[in-house]
């Protein structure tokens, strides 16, 4: 459970989401930039929501709201079935660092212990059944996720399984089929976008970049289910 002190400090962010519920990404962008934008890059909606909250792009291993230990995640939800379509990135995997961590001091813990989720809806065309453009995405709701001991135990098991592969020189064998709540998904421009990892013998090898992701089953069963979502027909 979130303490009353942390909740009070988080309240301004909650108020921003509440004030923007039902507004589209296009409306929010126009309000911030002073004009419409017709050519959004992939992932632009999440950045616009973060900008709405006053956040800067955070590639730090620390939580977004470091003093509170709270991470902020933006979650796209398909409006026709109220489900998450893709896994949600937590952080990039630094193989060399993860190999030396313990669960108690693992950087990923700071990213998952308390999460402020902000959900937006992705409508699809009733004619083509394809997703509409990003300017039509709609701010839906928010949820404070504080995983209990059982969930943290599962997170730990997933992390330790991933670490086992890394330590033993098998980082390139990591698969997104692994894990119950967390998966190690490839990340980068292509299969030539490489980074260092332990070879299991005291040296290093070059492997595909990967990131920790929340699996879809985690967000659908533990986040989406807690949101107050309207039913859209599309």
Check residue 145 and give its pLDDT: 97
Task: Give the whole-angstrom CA distance, residue 61 versus residue 90.
Answer: 10
What is the CATH topology of the domain spanning 4-226? Answer: ECO RV Endonuclease; Chain A (3.40.600)
pLDDT of residue 232 exceeding 70: no
Reported as a single tens digit per residue, the pLDDT across 51-66 is 899 887 666 778 889 8
Say what the pTM is.
0.91
**Mean pLDDT across 198-220:** 97
Q: What is the distance between the terminal CA atoms of the chain, rounded to a whole angstrom?
A: 36
Reported as a single tens digit per residue, the pLDDT across 114-171 is 999 999 999 998 888 888 888 899 999 999 999 999 999 999 999 999 999 999 999 9
**Mean pLDDT across 174-201:** 94
Helix ranges restricted to H, the chain: 4-20, 25-33, 44-52, 95-98, 107-112, 149-167, 216-222
Burial class from Cβ neighbours inside 10 Å (0-12, 13-18, 19+) for residue 140 reads buried
Check residue 25 and give its pLDDT: 92
């Amino acid at each position: 459970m979130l303490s009353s002190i942390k909740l009070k400090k988080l309240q301004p962010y909650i108020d921003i989401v509440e004030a923007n519920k039902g507004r589209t990404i296009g409306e929010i962008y126009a309000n911030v930039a002073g004009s419409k934008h017709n050519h959004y890059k992939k992932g632009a909606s999440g950045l616009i929501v973060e900008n709405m909250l006053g956040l800067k792009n955070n590639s730090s291993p620390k939580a977004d709201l470091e003093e509170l230990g709270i991470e902020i995640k933006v979650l796209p939800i398909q409006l026709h079935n109220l489900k998450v379509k893709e896994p949600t990135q937590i952080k990039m995997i630094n193989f060399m660092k993860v190999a030396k961590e313990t669960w108690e001091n693992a950087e990923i813990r700071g990213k998952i212990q308390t999460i402020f989720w902000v959900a937006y809806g992705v409508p699809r065309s009733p004619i083509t059944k394809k997703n509409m453009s990003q300017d039509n995405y709609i701010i839906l709701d928010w949820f404070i996720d504080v995983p209990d001991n059982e969930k943290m135990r599962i997170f730990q098991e997933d992390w330790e399984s991933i670490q086992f592969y890394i330590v033993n020189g098998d980082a390139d064998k990591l698969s997104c089929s692994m894990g119950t709540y967390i998966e190690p998904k490839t990340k980068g421009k292509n299969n030539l976008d490489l980074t260092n990892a332990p070879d299991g013998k005291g040296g290093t090898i070059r492997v595909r970049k990967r990131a920790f992701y929340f699996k879809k089953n985690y967000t659908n069963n533990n986040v989406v289910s807690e949101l107050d979502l309207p039913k859209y027909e599309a």
